[in-house]
Amino acid sequence: MDAFWAYARRMWRFRGLVILGFVFAAVSAGGLGTALVVMPKLLDTVLEPGHAGLPQIARELNANRWVAGRIPEAMIDRLPEGPFPAVVWIMVGLGGLTLIGSAANFMHQWCALTVVHRTIAHLRRQAYDRVLHMPLKTVVSEGPSDAISRVVNDTEMLGLGLVAMLSKAIAQVTKGVAALIAAFFIHWQLALAAIVVMPIIATIIRKLGKRIRRASGQALSARAGLFRASTEALQGLRVVKVHTTERYEAGRFGKVNKELLRQQLKVRTARALAGPLVELMSVFALGGLMIVAAKLIIDGSLDKSVFLVTVGALGIAAASIKPLTGLANDIQASGAAADRISRLLSNEREPGHDARLPKLARHHQSLAFEDVRVVYPGQTHAAVNGVTLHIRHGETVAFVGPNGCGKTTLLSLVPRLFDPDSGRVLIDGTDIARVRVRSLRRQIGVVTQEVILFKGTIRENIAYGNATVSEQAIVDAAKRARAHEFIERMPQGYDTPVGEQGLTLSGGQRQRIAIARAILRDPAILILDEATSMVDAESEEHIGEVLRDFCEGRTTLVVAHRLRTVLSADRIVVMAAGKIVDTGTHEDLLDRCPLYRQLAASQLQGAE
């Protein structure tokens, strides 16, 4: 529970509202306690015919050493005599206390919920920021769905625990304490006899709470798996339908859902058991109290009205304790969520964001890989194994090889999407691990085979990462990418909304928007990972011309499967099993590299 209390302490940032909430809770509980203390006087006035009424009640209060303040004698003399006016005035007073207590209770809840929601919103933003700044290798190995579940679901669960503590538990505790104090004030011996059961109740709550916390943590993990399974299937719904795997995906979802249900049923058992056990102990305590009270009343040492009000006050205190069982369970359950959030926030941040690091000057000389090696988590074979390569500024280099040979991984080292496990990547002789990563990535444009578009307008997707760019620059970039024509034909032009993942556009349209986005960045280094694979032959030819013009004066790294792309490169790098097999021109490699001849005869010419 350490993580839960650490996040609970964050609410102190809003200390003004926290203190105000406590004050209102105390006022609400104080009204209840005052009403209970006054109740015996009301009963005496109604049940005892010889009672003198309000003046006598006032003088008895003045004589009580526990009552703060004294009522002036002149005011007491002006109070009406008789039992009926006393009952009326007491009831009016109780009504006023009830009104004040209700208003104070509302303000307490308002303050508490405001503090909790603001705290969770701040924590949710911090968790999401940490996910965005985690190394890509960490996100890939652990899975983005688990991170999303922690940001969304776990913070929500934590919020429920904080609400239970600051809002509901405080209200119940203050009421219970006020009622208990009133019971001690009225008859301390009976009150003392009633609270002996409290340590037993506390032990029950603590034992069951630990079980709830363990099962809740496992349920949250299962919920993350449920989110992952459903997201994967729905995002790839076209593939699911084409391969008629609806039944398989439903079964995969059902397995995870069954595990989630199993963990939730564990929580159910502990929650269901807590309430009856506490209620049973309370009944036993009340039964013992009734036996003691009956003996005192029969002996004449206990007044009936005092007994009734004391039992009522203890009953209110017990009624306040009973909800605490469920609230304590809520806090324990949110403790598991707090642990998961804490583990997320403890992940290391992506290196290179330290403001003290120097900025990288615009690339103008060379790009070099020096004996770089990359091993993905959980893998035994290196994706990139000892690659050394020197590329001149302005050179276009095509990378070819069988699937899984390490081409994309190698190029991912340039913008530091991954860092090599050994070796260095140098730009103009500077190790990119020693410069600020933003200054590196701002001069790199990337177009991949899998285009990522965001929900928004076409204009916003082209200008992504360039918030201050002009309208004319956006249009020019779209024209150069051969996207302007189809954008203009759309009903709202550049303001046309793009659906989630860009699914409202064709593959070729998405590809051209991604190319326009890269053009707009005016990068010094351009990375093209099958950038024209999703467009038709005519569009490919037009875009190829655009890219050839755009690549002038820029270092261009191309992952290629098409012969046309390979032939336009200054140099071709052949890779296999994470290593460079050979480099050279198309003609040279055909003469001396068997693997390249095989690729040219199958993959490259087949793609062409």
Model pLDDT for residues 277-317, shown as the tens digit of each residue: 666 666 666 666 667 667 666 666 666 666 666 666 666 66
Please, which contacts does 163-167 make with residues 24 or more away whose CB atoms are closer than 8 Å?
163/112, 163/113, 163/116, 164/327, 164/330, 164/331, 164/334, 165/8, 165/327, 165/331, 166/8, 166/11, 166/18, 166/21, 166/112, 166/115, 166/116, 167/108, 167/109, 167/112, 167/113, 167/116
Give the mean model confidence (pLDDT) for residues 341-370: 87
Residue 503 per-residue DSSP state: T
Best-predicted range by mean pLDDT among 115-124, 128-137, 292-301, 528-537? 115-124
Kindly report which listed range (163-177, 279-293, 510-524) carries the lowest average pLDDT score.
279-293
- The pTM of the whole model exceeds 0.75: no
Q: In which band, very low, low, confident or very high, does the pLDDT at 607 lie, cut at 50, 70 and 90?
A: very low
pLDDT at 104: 84
Q: From residue 66, give the alpha-carbon distance in Å to each of 61, 110, 305.
A: 9, 33, 20
Q: What percent of the chain has pLDDT over 70?
A: 68
pLDDT at 279: 63
Q: In which band, very low, low, confident or very high, does the pLDDT at 325 lie, cut at 50, 70 and 90?
A: low
Q: Looking at the predicted structure, is the pLDDT value of residue 368 above 90?
A: yes
Q: Domains in the chain, start-ordered, CATH in brackets?
A: 2-345 (1.20.1560.10), 352-442+569-608 (3.40.50.300)
340/108 Cα distance (integer angstroms): 30
pLDDT at 486: 86
Sign of the CA dihedral running 5, 7, 9, 14 = negative
| 217 neighbors 336 (Cβ within 8 angstroms) | yes
pLDDT at 513: 85
For residue range 74-95, list pLDDT tens digits in order.
776 667 676 666 667 767 776 7
Residue 507 per-residue DSSP state: H
For residue range 396-442, list pLDDT tens digits in order.
898 988 888 888 889 989 988 888 989 999 999 899 989 998 899 88
Structure tokens at 318: 């017990």
Give the mean model confidence (pLDDT) for residues 570-591: 88
Q: Which residues contact 253 (CB under 8 A, 6 or more apart)?
A: 226, 229, 230, 233
Kindly report which listed range (131-135, 220-224, 391-395, 437-441) carries the lowest average pLDDT score.
220-224
Give the mean model confidence (pLDDT) for residues 318-326: 64
469/370 Cα distance (integer angstroms): 36
Beta partners for residue 426, in sequence order: 368, 431
pLDDT at 320: 66
pLDDT at 82: 65
Q: Looking at the predicted structure, is the pLDDT value of residue 529 above 60?
A: yes
Helical packing angle, 304-345 and 155-163, nearest 10°:
160
C-alpha 300, offset from chain centre: 63
Of 390 and 28, the structure prediction assigns the larger pLDDT to: 390
397/395 Cα distance (integer angstroms): 6
**Across the chain, how many H-helices and E-strands are there?**
25, 12
Q: From residue 42, give the alpha-carbon distance in Å to each of 21, 38, 87, 119, 179.
A: 31, 7, 6, 45, 17
Q: How many C-beta neighbours within 10 Å does residue 308 have?
A: 16
Q: In which band, very low, low, confident or very high, does the pLDDT at 260 lie, cut at 50, 70 and 90?
A: confident
pLDDT at 201: 64
Q: Looking at the predicted structure, is the pLDDT value of residue 65 above 70?
A: no
Give the mean model confidence (pLDDT) for residues 451-457: 80
Strands 422-427 and 430-431: antiparallel
488/479 Cα distance (integer angstroms): 11
40/31 Cα distance (integer angstroms): 15
The torsion angle over the Cα atoms of residues 491, 493, 494 and 499, rounded to 10 degrees, is 30
pLDDT at 345: 86
| Three-state DSSP string of 65-104 | CCCCCCCCHHHHHCCCEEHHHHHHHHHHHHHHHHHHHHHH
**DSSP notation for 297-362:** HHHT-S-HHHHHHHHHHHHHHHHHHHHHHHHHHHHHHHHHHHHHHHHHHTSPPPTT--TTSPPPPP
For residue range 209-254, list pLDDT tens digits in order.
666 667 777 777 777 777 777 776 766 666 666 556 777 778 877 8
pLDDT at 127: 87
Q: What percent of the chain has pLDDT over 90?
A: 7
Q: Looking at the predicted structure, is the pLDDT value of residue 51 above 60?
A: no
Q: Which residues contact 88 (CB under 8 A, 6 or more apart)?
A: none
Residue among 189, 181, 194, 192 nearest 66 (CA): 181
Q: Looking at the predicted structure, is the pLDDT value of residue 133 above 80?
A: yes
Q: In which band, very low, low, confident or very high, does the pLDDT at 606 lie, cut at 50, 70 and 90?
A: very low
pLDDT at 390: 94
Amino acid symbol at 245: T
pLDDT at 608: 43
pLDDT at 470: 87
For residue range 541-577, list pLDDT tens digits in order.
666 677 777 778 889 898 877 677 777 788 999 988 8
101/25 Cα distance (integer angstroms): 9
Helical packing angle, 304-345 and 2-9, nearest 10°:
100
Best-predicted range by mean pLDDT among 173-182, 279-288, 507-516, 599-608? 507-516
Beta partners for residue 579, in sequence order: 576
